[in-house]
Amino acid sequence: MNRTATIRFLKAYGKSMRIYYSFVTGIAGWVGVAHYQFIANTIGERGTSGLVRTIEVPASLTKQMVIILILFLAWGINQIVNDFLGYKEDKINAPQRPMVTGELNRYHAMALSLLLMLVIFLVTWFYLEPVAILPLVAGAILNVIYEYAKGHGIWGNMVFGVMISMCALYGFYACGPMEIYFTRSRFSALALIAIMNALMTYYTYFKDYTGDKAAGKNTIVVEYGLITNKYISIAASFLPSILFLIGYYIFKGFQIELNNIFIILGLMTVFLQVWTGVLYYQNPQGEMTYYSLVTNFRACTCGQASIVSLFNPELGLILFLITYVFVGFLFNLHTNIKA
């Protein structure tokens, strides 16, 4: 490709990455980084909770930024894979996407994504921690599986949620050495992230109802129809909060004391989640179905920032505010519903 064609290709590739979504993977990964830093800086006896330092060493700021950059890019890179695999339904749902219009060559875009994934693998192996390759591979595989699981009701949501939770696991494993790789608290955090993202992707299915139905993708929205899903959208909005409370107070899943910042951010997240449910109850179809996505994304990403505040209250608060502002800002730069 000549210079002009290369610039045109990169612009179309960047557009297809849908950067406003990158906070989903980026903030999920930041949960893992904050958790590791908390452990690496904690000295004391807390039983077998895994919340005290053994061989953990605080990651340098440079290493943390490399991890976060990888995780923010991860969404866009994998989005190209989704667009490649979901080409059929995108012809109906999003006919003006660069891959559908031909502005972005499908095969060249896939080649670039595979190249970037290879670079990430090499950086992880040689600069970060080799063990972090495991959630990286798991996330890539789940991304492919998701495109097919999406057509089988709730399985698509479950696969998507677990896929994003791999970002948190990657952020944790990539920071430095450790003796304890898995604990009840870590599983609980991953499960909460998975639930919030499964719910987030459920709401995105409303805008894709027509195309998914035509393409034979039997999502929850297609399976039960828009009327029933209006009520499901309200009920489901309470699910992350209910499961967190049960996990924390009954099963003692989170072996850490709640701080005031987490409580405040958590309550604000609950409002965003419930308001998302209300919006999709009111507008299961039409133009507002698309524009309600910004509240949906904020509910998910700000919820993940709230989890960060369990380990670092100040950082969690900063990420919550930055995420809320920039998800809306970047979303408003992408106003074409059909793209």
The confidence band for 47, taking pLDDT boundaries of 50, 70 and 90, is: very low
Once rounded to an integer, what is the mean pLDDT over residues 220-237? 95
pTM for this prediction: 0.90
- Provide the 3-class DSSP secondary structure of residue 255: coil
Q: Decide if 204 is inside a domain.
A: yes
pLDDT digits (tens, 9 = 90+) for 268-294: 999 999 999 999 999 999 889 999 999
Q: Decide if 43 is inside a domain.
A: yes
37-51, 243-257, 261-275, 301-315, range with the lowest pLDDT = 37-51
* Separation of CA 289 from chain center: 20
**Could you give the number of structural domains in the chain?**
1
pLDDT at 44: 65
* Separation of CA 215 from chain center: 25
The closest alpha carbon to 287, from 217, 207, 180, belongs to: 207
Q: Decide if 337 is inside a domain.
A: no
- Provide the 3-class DSSP secondary structure of residue 152: strand
Burial class (CB in 10 A: 0-12, 13-18, 19+), 234: middle
End-to-end CA distance of the chain, in Å?
Answer: 25
pLDDT at 49: 52
Residue written as tokens 């991860």?
Answer: 74
Once rounded to an integer, what is the mean pLDDT over residues 22-36? 95
Q: Decide if 338 is inside a domain.
A: no
pLDDT at 323: 95
Return d(Cα 290, Cα 283) in angstroms, integer.
9
Residue written as tokens 């999406």?
Answer: 150
Q: Decide if 60 is inside a domain.
A: yes
The closest alpha carbon to 330, from 43, 101, 26, belongs to: 26
Q: Decide if 339 is inside a domain.
A: no
Q: Decide if 264 is inside a domain.
A: yes
| Domain range enclosing 298 | 3-332
pLDDT digits (tens, 9 = 90+) for 65-105: 999 999 999 888 888 887 887 777 777 777 878 888 888 88
The closest alpha carbon to 202, from 165, 269, 155, belongs to: 155
Q: Decide if 165 is inside a domain.
A: yes
- Provide the 3-class DSSP secondary structure of residue 218: strand
